[in-house]
Structure 1
Amino acid sequence: MNPLDDLDEAVMAVRAAWESAETAGDVPRERLVAVNDALGSVRRRVDAVLAEVAARIAAESRKELGPQGLAKQHGYRTPAMLIASATGASTGEANRFVTVGTATAPRTSLFGERLPAKYPAVRDASRTGALSVPASAAIISLLDRVRLKVSEERVVQAEQVLATQASGMSMDEVRKLLTRAEAWLDPDGVEPREAQARADRSLQMFERDGMLHLTLQTDVASGAPVKAAIEGYVSAQFASRKNAARVTDAEGAVEGDTRTVTQMRADALTLFAEHVLGCQHDDLPLAGATVVVRVDLDDLEAGTGIARIDGVTAPVSIATARRLAADGGVIPWVCGPEGDILDWGRQRRLFTRPQKLALTERDGGCAMCGLPPAMSHVHHIRWWERDAGPTDLDNGVLLCSTCHHLIHDNEWDVRVEGTGIHGRVWFLPPATADPERTPRPAANRRFEHVA
């Protein structure tokens, strides 16, 4: 059967899906999905034809032909380079077309006998537009890996199941399917693969353009708690955002959280690291790890200039230095004009666990947005450095990292009526947001009846 016949059918399906549109750019909304599906089918079928052509180009460019090979006759060193030049794909993508086309094309034995394709089920699924070339390549790669470990009958069975199951899936879904399929086909290989993944684990850190870049890869077992912790934080942030949306400004709602999911993940990692640095447990193998911020006293008082963090090349603003100086596990090194050390910071400035428990009784979590206590830390109402605020219950309030930054960066004020755990917390917005600076109650009191 000519593969172009299937392609003609797919093109006709696009025409049928598009037939009610007056112009090419005016597809009715109710037909957009049908047009999208039809175009996806056309693309997959075109790629299937290209894979067959790529396999033939590779066969006509094999090494034994030397300078007479098709690719070299046209000025290309490899068939992949010839294919990539015509399609605009990368050489890696072109090699993928060759792999799929070769594995799904009819074969010839050493004696010249015609043999069926190595993977006929994958060929049929790609020709009908049910399977993309990247998905076909991933299935072929898996089946090639397990051929020496399982019987031919099992490989045939797996090919048929995967070609059917992966049809219509996105590439991300196909990868998940193949991960489970490999464990099903080769259960004895799971443990060695885990050992190799652990051996290949790494975390790269480097600075570029004023940003710290982290690239982590690790085995799934080691990465599971990292993923669970970060996703738990993100879920809590969205729950807090949803709850805040129910409160009108008149009832004391704080400014909306507009962070993206990726920004929340970055904030989660920062929050967890700050928490660890502030822990008092002796069994944490941190070797005295501390974030040291170096800043000139005159700059700190004037709010101008820059500060530096030990171990980090890029400087930070004075506003950031002030914020860091209020966080747990961070020691400000304030220098006078001659560079003499005026204050190495005091670990006594950190609130103790009993103090946080007492403030939790009063605030119930972040006093500003309502996040749970586990995601909040104690903030000095009168700042430790700027205002020489003491570390006692009357000067403490629970805040999450986001609200802590909001207080520092946007000139919010915090007031407490009463003393100890019986105090009542109020937030005063900046005059730029509310000229009257109307006090807003803490999150756990927003739904109380206030006389």
Structure 2
Amino acid sequence: MTTHLSALLETVTGLEMAWADAADATEMTRDQLMRASEELTLARRQMDALLAEVAAEISHESRAELGPEGLAKQQGYRSTTQLIAASTRGTTGEAAQLVRVGEAIAPRSNLLGEKLPAKYPFLQRGVASGELSMAAAAQIIALLDRVRIKIGAERTAEAEQLLAARAAGQSLDNVRRMIVHAEAHLDPDGIEPSEDERRAQRSATMFERDGNLHVHLVTPAEEGAAIRAAVQGYVSAQFAARKDAVDPNGPDADHRTVQMMQADAFTLFCQHMLSCAHTDVPLHGATVIVRIDLEELTSGTGHGTIDGTDAPISVSAVRRMAAGGGIIPCVLGSEGEILDWGRERRLFTRAQKLALAERDGGCAMCDLPPCMTKVHHLRWWQRDAGPTDLDNGILLCESCHHRIHDNGWEIRIDGTGTSARVWFLPPPHVDPSRTPRLGGRARYAIAA
């Protein structure tokens, strides 16, 4: 029995004692409520420790060298993080954190199969006992991994022991502050990384939540100077226009905050790039596609969607977007009619891909946006004389396309046109009952 599991079982016993004879929380005394809260929090952290250990082993069984035989690909997922995210009902970021922590605190073995201590044994004990949260352990592990080559194994172990002890019982904000000071102490030269190192750290991430697109940009100061100047220039121009307004307090007055203006600046710059015919920047056919039923567009009731975006948008927002450059409004009739090409063409047309994006929402298997997919024949055009029709097409990213062929998955389409449903049938070694899994937009769309 692992250290993590033993600690969890002890906590469950304590939780049973805290609950005592109460039927539910409403029958608990205040002392019982506090104790139950503490025991439940402890149990959750210990459960996370077990989950991290399992996640690390799933990652090992899904390593790249196993190819199609990797666990994640056998289960129909593009990566370890996708498999774990689906299993835990969490995000891929949370799944990646579980793997990182698990690989750092799980037991190891050498090439002979002999057991070795965890990479970070002090953190292992802290996480197993529940004194350290998963997020705090991840922060400390990231620091130790960054500095261990520079400071050596002995100092790394000393730092691990100190940080594990100091972080116990601390809030995550305090742990972050402690790590900043610890890194400055352990690696003074790292406070000012070289230009090459800073350029290697640049990143831009985007994710959607609650109907908003969140963008996080990290770039070296010298490269970000152009961004800062352009955004600040736009904001300054807006304030100048506000100052010259005839009635600064009128109903049409500009009451945006600086943060709102900065967000508007990024939107305007990107809209300009999409519609500009003279740009030298390669955009590889990037286009914004907005979809709405004709009846909803004319009546003003209902909603539309944007390819690659989860949240629906109002009819008025559709009309505003359709008036801009670089936007293709895809208005569908009551039957979602798109012409089929039969055997006359081997390659699907752009119009057919737009229709399939309406049905599949992107990669019908893993949800990558339409711009990262290709239309594939269900019955092969050359070998099986499959027609180039909507009912014989499906949007798949390259990874899922190869995974389906390599691992023996089957695809079934129920219905016709853009309202059809896509089903994936796993091979027997993944699911002996071969229970179909719903794919495409139908997984998250709500029927009217």
TM-score normalised by the chain length of structure 2: 0.45
Which one has more relative contact order, counting CA pairs under 8 Å at least 6 apart? 2
Which of the pair has more CA radius of gyration?
1
